[in-house]
């Protein structure tokens, strides 16, 4: 058995328990006095622990370091911004790579492009060499093993030119081929406003001729010779005063003849196949129209003779006629059989629906027997 040391009860109560170890003693500091409000019955107060001085210094150093780093970062960002905003004069290399936003205005446009020297910059006339051909020798290719001498063409060699029917063989009054002065499109030839004084030689395939607004004054006998396919001739706006009787008579395919706004005083012999004849705005007189001129045109449908010097209605008129314009002439009277056959009252001209006699001094109401065969009365003065 173990031996135990007996301690009296009185001694056990009188002896005090050991003093608890304070944290302030561990840190080597004096324990602060606690407030009375910290005491609770049966519980020993534990004071708030202030931070050691070394620790506070360390935290202050960290705060200061953070501020320094922030300032350093801001300075670096400002430096980059200044480098981006630097002008080209400060750095030549940077100026060659960086293009600023620059808007051109009308005032400084002339500084960028000098339009006054444009002709000098675009004039290449002196730089184009002239090509000189000294002979007709053709370049030949010879192989290293070939022994054949190159062939040359003789300068006196003549080549066959285009035929008489070719487009470029016909010479105009300018001394150039007709299709260089005029425009040739298929079988149509356009010589409008080409300063022509005569009808140019035309290709034999010509079907439509337009030679308007020129200075043509006369139509010669051979101007349309051989043009058997010619269907339409338009010579409006010239100064034609005469047409030879043989100029149009031998054109079997001619259908439309337009001589508007010329100086004709008489009509030539016309081919029988004409369907459309326009001689307005001329100096045409009744004496310049032969009595059987229009009766021989069995296919004539449109006859326009307005704005001339006619003093009577030309006739007799073919039965195929559909439109007759005679306004603005000097017509004062008409014959009773001008439009209708007075011997046959059943005669009707249903096709002739358009007759214009307005602008003439004639009083149409004085000739009622002249209209009984017409589907409509002529246009003109009836009072």
* Least confidently predicted of 87-96, 188-197, 321-330: 87-96
Q: What is the pLDDT of residues 90-102, one digit of tens each?
A: 444 444 444 444 4
**pLDDT exceeds 50 at position 168:** no
pLDDT confidence of residue 156 = 44
Per-residue confidence (pLDDT) for residue 40, from 0 to 100 = 47
Closest CA to 281 of 231, 322, 237: 237
Better-predicted residue by pLDDT, 349 or 235: 235
pLDDT digits (tens, 9 = 90+) for 110-146: 443 343 433 333 333 444 444 444 444 444 444 444 4
**How would residue 59 be classed by pLDDT, with cut points 50, 70 and 90?**
confident
Quote the mean pLDDT of the chain. 74
CB atoms within 10 A of CB 271: 17
Q: Name the H helices within 209-354.
A: 245-248
Place of tokens 């840190």: 27
Bridge-based pairing of strands 218-219 and 188-190 is unpaired
Mean pLDDT score, 50-58: 64
pLDDT of 72 above 70: yes
Higher pLDDT pick, 64 / 113: 64
Distance between first and last Cα of the chain: 176
Residue 344 pLDDT grade (very low, low, confident, very high; cuts 50, 70, 90): confident
Q: What is the SS3 assignment for 170?
A: coil
Q: What is the DSSP string of 336-350?
A: TTSSS-TT-TT---S
Cα angle vertex 147, ends 141, 153, to 5°? 50
Confidence of residue 26 (pLDDT cuts 50, 70, 90): low
pLDDT band at 27 (very low <50, low <70, confident <90, very high): low
Nearest to 278 by CA among 310, 302, 314: 302
Question: 303-315 pLDDT, tens per residue?
Answer: 999 999 999 999 8
341-378 as b/e: b if 16+ CB within 10 A = eeeeeeeebeebeebbbebbebebeebeebbebbeeeb
Mean pLDDT of 77-89: 54
The separation between CA 112 and the C-alpha centre of its own chain, rounded to angstroms, equals 29
With a pLDDT cut of 70, the percent of the chain lying above it is 58
Of all residues in the chain, what percent carry a pLDDT higher than 90?
48
Of 33-37, 49-53, 287-291, the range with the highest mean pLDDT is 287-291
Question: DSSP letter at 193?
Answer: T
59 touches 34 (CB < 8 A): no
Quick one: pLDDT at residue 146?
42
Residues 240-273: tens digit of each pLDDT: 999 999 999 999 999 999 999 999 999 999 999 9
Say whether pLDDT at 336 is over 80. yes
The backbone torsions φ and ψ at residue 106, rounded to the nearest 5 degrees and listed phi first, read -65, -30
Longest pairwise C-alpha distance within the chain: 187
SS3 252: coil
H or E, element range at 188 = strand 188-190
State pTM to two decimals.
0.57
């Amino acid at each position: 058995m173990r031996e135990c040391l007996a301690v009296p009860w009185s001694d056990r109560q009188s002896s005090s328990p050991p003093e608890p170890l304070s944290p302030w003693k561990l840190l080597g500091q004096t324990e602060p006095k606690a407030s009375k409000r910290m005491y609770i019955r049966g519980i020993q107060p534990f004071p708030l622990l202030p931070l050691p001085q070394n620790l506070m210094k360390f935290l202050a150093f960290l705060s200061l370091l953070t501020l320094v780093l922030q300032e350093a970062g801001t300075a670096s960002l400002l430096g980059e911004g200044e480098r981006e905003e630097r002008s080209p004069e400060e750095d030549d290399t940077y100026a060659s790579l960086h293009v600023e936003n620059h808007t051109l205005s009308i005032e400084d446009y002339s500084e960028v492009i000098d339009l006054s020297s444009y002709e000098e910059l675009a004039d290449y006339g002196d730089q184009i060499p002239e090509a000189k051909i000294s002979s007709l020798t053709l370049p030949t290719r010879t192989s290293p093993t070939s022994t054949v001498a190159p062939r040359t063409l003789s300068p006196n060699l003549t080549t066959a030119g285009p035929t008489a029917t070719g487009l470029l063989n016909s010479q105009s009054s300018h001394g150039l081929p007709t299709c260089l002065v005029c425009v040739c499109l298929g079988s149509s030839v356009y010589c409008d406003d080409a300063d022509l004084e005569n009808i140019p030689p035309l290709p034999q395939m010509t079907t439509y001729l337009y030679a308007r607004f020129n200075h043509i004054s006369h139509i010669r006998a051979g101007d349309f010779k051989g043009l058997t396919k010619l269907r339409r001739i338009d010579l409006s706006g010239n100064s034609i005063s005469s047409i030879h009787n043989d100029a149009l008579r031998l054109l079997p395919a001619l259908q439309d003849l337009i001589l508007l706004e010329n100086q004709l005083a008489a009509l030539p012999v016309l081919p029988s196949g004409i369907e459309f004849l326009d001689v307005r705005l001329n100096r045409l007189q009744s004496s310049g129209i032969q009595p059987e001129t229009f009766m021989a045109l069995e296919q004539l449908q449109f006859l326009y003779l307005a704005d001339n010097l006619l003093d009577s209605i030309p006739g007799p008129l073919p039965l195929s006629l559909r439109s007759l314009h005679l306004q603005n002439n000097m017509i004062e009277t008409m014959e009773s059989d001008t439009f209708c056959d007075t011997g046959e009252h059943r005669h009707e001209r249903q096709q002739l629906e358009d007759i214009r006699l307005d602008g003439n001094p004639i009083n149409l109401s004085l000739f009622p027997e002249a209209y009984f065969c017409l589907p409509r009365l002529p246009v003109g003065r009836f009072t």
